[in-house]
Chains A and B, each alone.
Chain A
Amino acid sequence: MIELTGPILAVSAALAIYFLLRPGRGWLERWRRRLRLSDRVLSEDALKHLYHCEYEQRVATVQSLSGALGTPVEKVAGLVQRIEAGELATSEGASLRLTPKGREYALRIIRAHRLWERYLSEETGLKEPDWHKRAEQQEHRLTSSEADALAARMGNPPFDPHGDPIPTQRGQLPPRRGQPLTSLEVGERARIAHLEDEPEAVYAQLVAEGLHPLMVVQLTHLSAERICFWAEGEEHVLAPIVAANVAVVPLPREQPVEESLESLAVLEPGEEATVVGLSPNCRGLERRRLMDLGLLPGTVVTAEMRSPVGDPTAFRIRGALIALRGQQAANIRISSRRQVA
Chain B
Amino acid sequence: MSPANTREEVLEAAANLRWEVGPNLHDSLMEALYTDAARITDRVLSRDDARPAFDLDRTIDRLVTSRWLGFPIMMLLMAVVLWVTITGANVPSSLLSSLFLETLHPALKQAAAAAGLAWWLDGLLIDGMFLAMAWVVSVMLPPMAIFFPLFTLLEDFGYLPRVAFNLDRWFKKAGAHGKQALTMAMGYGCNAAGVVATRVIDSPRERLIATLTNNFSLCNGRWPTQILIATIFIGSLAPPALAGLVSAGSVMAVVLLGVGCTFLVSWGLSRTLLKGEASAFSLELPPYRPPRILQTIYTSLIDRTLIVLWRAVVFSVPAGAAIWLVSNIHLGGVSLAEHLIQGMNPFGLLIGLNGVILLAYIIAIPANEIVIPTVLMLTVLSVGLPGVGEGAGVMFEFDSASATLGVLEADGWTLLTGINLMLFSLLHNPCSTTLYTIWKETGSVKWTAASALLPIAMGFLVCFCVAQVFRWLGG
Contacts and interface: CB of A to CB of B under 8 A. Distances in A.
Interface of A: 1-5, 120, 123-126, 130, 155-159, 163, 165, 168, 170, 172, 174, 213-214, 277, 280, 284-291, 293-294, 296-299, 304-305, 307-312, 314, 318-325, 328, 340
B172 A311 contact: yes
Identify the 5 closest CB pairs spanning chains A and B, nearest first.
A174-B19, A323-B283, A1-B330, A159-B23, A286-B280
Contact of B165 (A158, A289, A312, A328): A312
Given A1-B330, A285-B278, A298-B35, A322 B61 contact: no
Contacts of A322: 282-285
Contacts of A320: 284
Given A158-B18, A296-B31, 12 more contacts: A2-B330, A124-B278, A125-B205, A125-B276, A158-B21, A284-B278, A288-B280, A308-B66, A309-B170, A312-B178, A324-B281, A325-B172
Interface in B264-287: 274-287
A298 B277 CA distance: 32
B276 A126 contact: yes
Contacts of A159: 23
Contacts of B278: 123-125, 284-285
A85 B18 CA distance: 37
A80 to B, nearest CB: 33
Given A5-B331, A159-B23, A296 B34 contact: yes
A130 B167 CA distance: 30
A168 B67 contact: no
Contacts of B277: 124-125
B170 A165 contact: no
A310 B284 contact: no
A287 B30 CA distance: 11
B165 A323 contact: yes
A165 B23 CA distance: 9
A309 B171 CA distance: 12
A307 B165 contact: yes
Nearest to B29: A155
The interface residues of chain A, by DSSP majority, are classed as loop
Nearest to A177: B19
A314 B165 contact: yes
Contacts of A307: 65, 165-166, 168-169
Given A2-B330, A5-B331, A312-B168, A325 B285 contact: no
Contacts of A294: 34, 38
B67 A308 contact: yes
Interface string B165-193: 11111101000001000000000000000
B7 interface: no
B70 interface: yes
Contact of B23 (A124, A168, A174, A213): A213
Contacts, number: 144
12 contacts: A2-B329, A3-B331, A130-B275, A158-B25, A159-B23, A163-B23, A168-B18, A285-B278, A287-B27, A291-B30, A321-B286, A322-B283
A232 B165 CA distance: 29
A321 B284 contact: yes
A118 B234 CA distance: 57
Interface string B280-296: 11111111000000000
Nearest to A287: B27
B62 interface: yes
Contacts of B34: 291, 294, 296
Contact of A323 (B38, B62, B285): B285
Given A3-B331, A168-B15, A296-B34, A325 B168 contact: yes
Contacts of A308: 65-67, 70-71, 166
Nearest to B39: A298
A310 B65 CA distance: 11
A277 B62 CA distance: 30
B278 to A, nearest CB: 5
A156 B328 CA distance: 64
A190 to B, nearest CB: 15
Nearest to B333: A1
B38 A298 contact: yes
Interface of B: 15-16, 18-19, 21, 23-27, 30-31, 34-35, 38, 47, 51, 58, 61-62, 65-67, 70-71, 120, 165-170, 172, 178, 203-205, 274-287, 328-333, 336
Contacts of B15: 168, 170, 172
B330 A286 contact: no
A211 to B, nearest CB: 15
A137 to B, nearest CB: 13
A19 B19 CA distance: 50
Contacts of B282: 289, 293, 322-324
B187 to A, nearest CB: 23
A120 B286 CA distance: 33
Contacts of B203: 285
Given A130-B275, A322-B282, A311 B31 contact: no
Contacts of A289: 280, 282
A295 B175 CA distance: 24
A308 B71 CA distance: 9
Contact of B35 (A125, A157, A285, A296): A296
B118 to A, nearest CB: 12
A2 B328 contact: yes
A214 B23 contact: yes
Counting chain B CB atoms within 10 Å of each CB, the highest count among A311, A314, A340 belongs to A314
A168 B18 CA distance: 10
A327 to B, nearest CB: 8
A285 B280 CA distance: 6
B275 A4 contact: no
Contacts of B329: 1-2, 4
B428 to A, nearest CB: 25
A123 B204 CA distance: 11
Contacts of B71: 308
A168 B14 CA distance: 12
Nearest to B283: A323
A155 B26 CA distance: 8
B392 to A, nearest CB: 11
Contacts of A5: 331-332
A107 B276 CA distance: 27
Contacts of A319: 47
A289 B47 CA distance: 24
Contact of B328 (A1, A284, A305): A1
